[in-house]
Amino acid sequence: MLFLHLFFSTLWIGGMIYSLLFLKPSLRELPQEEQRRKLLRSVFSRFFSAVFVSIFVLFLTGMSLWHGYRKDFNANTLFHLKLFLFALMTFIFLYIYFFLYRRGRYSHIPNLIGINLLLGVLIMLIITYIR
């Protein structure tokens, strides 16, 4: 369970890092806007499918780990903050997917991915501290 949890959190956070630090700057080298949009549509299609799977697996493995191994987290305020931040990341992703990506509004996606990346790193800091 722990391996799956770490793997899918790494996939989501790593994908956000890739998107912001490597994909976004590289898009400037493409001369035509239509080429950029086509590439973004292709990359985000694959990445967002992985994020949907990640959210599902993270929820299931997280609940299993919480209730199976670390019942003491019930009284930990920082753990509840982590759960809230995960929910917030999920809602931001759903907004990105349904209201930006599917409508072809790609220009605002990197900003929200940046916010989700910060939240994901904060979650990693919290869980590292309380483990």
Region 46-63 average pLDDT: 97
DSSP annotation of 29 reads T
| C-alpha distances out from residue 12 to 28, 30, 93, 101, 120, Å | 24, 26, 11, 17, 9
pLDDT in tens, 72-125: 777 888 989 999 999 999 999 999 999 999 999 998 999 999 999 999 999 999
**pLDDT band per the 50, 70, 90 thresholds, residue 65:** confident
| Higher pLDDT pick, 31 / 13 | 13
Q: Is the pTM of this model over 0.85?
A: yes
Domain ranges of the chain: 2-130
Nearest CA to 96 among 107, 85, 87? Answer: 107
**pLDDT band per the 50, 70, 90 thresholds, residue 37:** very high
Region 21-49 average pLDDT: 93
Cβ pair 21, 125 in contact under 8 A = no
Token couple for 97 = 């997917």
